[in-house]
Amino acid sequence: MIERIREFYVEALEKSESPEVREFASYLGEKSQDGSRPCWGGAAAHALKTFKSGRARIALWKELLRTQEENALLLFIKLNVDNPEVMEAVLSDAEKLPITVQRALVSIDEIGNKVDQHLPRFSQKARDFRRASAEDKRRERAGFDTRTSGLLAMKISSPKALKEDEPERQ
């Protein structure tokens, strides 16, 4: 997670009314003694420990939704796909999601029946994709799984890597 993205999250999440979300923002902004900071995988592990109830996770979802940042939205879905209460909240917000996130939701077999109940909330492209071939949906799901697995593998950001990345991305 590059520094500008981290700062964006910290700033956005600090404004939340939820104490858990504000604590999570503080965690994202923390540096360890060697200067490293949590990255996507570290943030996800911390979120699972911090947001235990469905209500708390939905509060985090609402804040992440405001950011419209695809990596965070996709990771949240990956971590909560087995939580019906949370997935109901996610699907209720389908019209607010970027198309890539909508397509990922449509490709998740485990929530297919719930997706069908909320399909009118999805964009036309996502609704059309719901009728795509099983092979196309399998490829979309594989892309979702690959992307989120890669993000989860990144536990910390080292200060050296951050300094080397920043000039190229500015």
pLDDT in tens, the chain (170 residues): 566 777 877 888 888 888 998 888 888 888 777 777 777 888 888 899 999 999 999 999 999 999 888 989 999 999 999 999 999 999 999 999 999 999 999 999 999 899 999 999 999 999 999 999 999 999 999 999 999 999 888 776 655 544 444 444 34
Beta strands in 11-87 (DSSP E): 37-38
The model's pTM: 0.84
CA distance 76 to 47: 9
d(CA 24, CA 46): 8
d(CA 107, CA 130): 8
The conformation of residue 17, written as its DSSP 8-state character, comes to S
Number of Cβ within a 10 Å radius of residue 62: 15
The span from the CA of 130 to the CA of 122, in Å, is: 10
